[in-house]
Amino acid sequence: MQHRVYILLLILFSLVGCEEPFMPEIDVQGGFLVFEGQITDQDEVHVVKINRSVAFNEKSVFEPASGFTVFVEDENGQHHLFSEKRQGYYQSSAFKGLYNYRYRLLAISPEGKTYASDWEVLLQSAPVAKIRGTFYMNQWLERIEGQGYVEHNDPGLQLLVSGDFNAYTPFYRYEYQAIFQTTQTYPTVPFLTTYYIVRPFSSLSSGFVQVLNGNLYQNQKVEDYPLDFVTKALMTMKITIDSVEIDSTGNRIFETAYIHYAQHGAIFKVNQYSLSESAFKFWEAVYKQQEASGQLFDPVETQIFGNVKCISDSTEQVFGYFSASALTSKISHLFLTYDNKVVVTPVDSFPDISSTQASVQKFPFWVN
């Protein structure tokens, strides 16, 4: 019996000793081209971005695609050329799209391949009736190692938009910009010194914040449609003014506890872009993709191709979308008070501020 066991063990160890690491051969697929472009009814410079996806083990997700000849064509055969200003970033001269005209994107690669979008009709956008806000407590779960899921309660402002879309296209996408107003008062002698501070925030960092289908509402009239949640922590962020808080030798002049801080709301500009039905379906799929939180029944689109194709090679997969949109906007100042009410003040124009600014005088566009 022992002899038979010895033989079995000898066979087993010999098999283990003969094992060799197995490295499967994986086909490395070439990167996909991704097109992102839009023209509007505004007389301005328009932009088309072309990128190429890279392998999953690369440091970045995309790399710019250079050397393309890019232009937008209208239904009458007129072409608007887009010049490459930096790698993968193509820019037109100023022009405006016309209502009810059809437009498409055309691009020729350095290798001679031709890419084209479907025709897009530029549909007039309904006016933005109003924007306002309401206090909202955003509740979310965070998974912490060793503790499980922890619930967070994040107070802030829910940004809302209203409009009557009857007689207009019912399909839209939205983005917004904001200029936050704050003051910081320092205990200087003999008088207090108050600094007025403004700082920009833009939803453009994520491309857009919401889509809307007016067909889902009676008579296509929409009231208080939620666009985005703006956390109170973002609105009440403190700004360090080095020239006041720190002297020339780097020593702190004032303790933080002695500095009075107050937030004075924000000037919001909501941009509303008209969409065709096909463009709406694309942006709705993108919205579902970016809003999915990873739960079991979250809606996730596995592949979102868009309306751009390679007409030189029908087998090549291409991603992205080219759209033609009309733009309407609304500007208001929204102030979330300490008792969680929102005061709305109409504003005529949006400040041209690209970075944080501070002054001992109120800015010309300051809203009390």
The encoded tokens of residue 94 equal 């100023």
322-359 pLDDT per residue, tens: 999 999 999 999 999 989 999 999 999 999 998 999 99
Least confident of 6-20, 156-170, 179-193: 6-20
Least confident of 1-10, 150-159, 211-220, 275-284: 1-10
CA distance 346 to 331: 7
CA distance 292 to 302: 12
Closest among 136, 101, 131 to 119, alpha carbons compared: 101
% the chain with pLDDT above 90:
63
Q: Are strands 148-164 and 221-231 parallel, antiparallel or unpaired?
A: antiparallel
Q: What is the CA radius of gyration of the chain?
A: 28
The encoded tokens of residue 274 equal 């008209």
CA distance 24 to 325: 48
Q: Residue 271 half-sphere exposure, CB side, CA atoms within 13 Å?
A: 19
Range among 168-172, 245-249, 358-362 with highest mean pLDDT value = 168-172
Q: Sketch out the chain's domains with CATH numbers.
A: 33-121 (2.60.40), 130-274+326-359 (no CATH)
CA distance 5 to 9: 6
Closest among 346, 276, 257, 352 to 124, alpha carbons compared: 276
97-112 pLDDT per residue, tens: 999 999 999 999 999 9
CB atoms within 10 A of CB 20: 5
Least confident of 191-195, 243-247, 316-320: 243-247
Greater model confidence, 57 or 229: 229
Peptide bond into 170 cis (omega under 30): no
Closest among 72, 70, 115 to 89, alpha carbons compared: 70
Q: What is the mean pLDDT of residues 114-121?
A: 97
126 to 121, 197, 204, 323: CA distances (angstroms): 15, 34, 21, 17
User: Which bin fits 287, alpha (ψ -120 to 50), beta or left (φ > 0)?
Assistant: alpha
Q: Are strands 33-40 and 318-325 parallel, antiparallel or unpaired?
A: parallel
Whether pTM > 0.85 for this model: the answer is no
Closest among 268, 220, 254, 261 to 239, alpha carbons compared: 261
Tokens 């207009």 belong to residue = 168
CA distance 135 to 159: 9
Using pLDDT thresholds of 50, 70 and 90, give the confidence band for residue 142: confident
- SS3 for the chain is CHHHHHHHHHHHHHHHHCCCCCCCCCCCCCCCEEEEEEEECCCECCEEEEEEECCCCCCCCEEECCCCEEEEEECCCCEEEEEEEECCEEEECCECCCCCCEEEEEEECCCCCEEEECCEECECCCCCCEEEEEEEEEEEEEEECCCEEEEEEEEEEEEEEEEECCCCCCEEEEEEEEEEEEEEEECCCCCCEEEEEEEEEEHHHHCCCEEEEHHHCHHHEEEEEEEEEEEHHHHCCCCCCHHHHECCCCCECCCHHHCEEEEEEEEEEEEEEECCHHHHHHHHHHHHHHHCCCCCCCCCCCCCCECEEECCCCCCCEEEEEEEECEEEEEEEEEECCCCCEEEEECCCCCCCCCCEEECCCCCCCCC
